[in-house]
Amino acid sequence: MRKRLGLHSDEMALALVLWLCSLPLIALIVIPHLGLNAAGLVALALLVVVMALCWGACGGKMLKG
């Protein structure tokens, strides 16, 4: 499975799990104060940030290795 998904798929899976685990926290904090639409935007923005950090870290590892 590692060959099919690539060498650093475990970092991407960890980033996805981190994002999924942060969704209840976003719901508890953002929805009461700003509403459901804002919570969706915050969740989407967090996903983009987490994926960008992951791709940056994986790219650095691939350049070194």
- Which pLDDT does position 19 carry in this prediction? 95
Question: How many other C-beta atoms are found inside a 10 Å radius of the C-beta of residue 15?
Answer: 20
What are the structure tokens assigned to 8, written together?
């650093």
Q: Rg (Cα) of the chain, in Å, rounded? A: 15
pLDDT, one tens digit per residue, over 2-19 is: 455 556 678 888 889 999
How confident is the model over 34-48, as a mean pLDDT?
Answer: 96
**Residue ranges per structural domain of the chain:** 9-59
* pTM score of the predicted model: 0.77
Over 60: is that where the pLDDT of 64 sits? yes
Over 50: is that where the pLDDT of 1 sits? no
SS3 28: helix
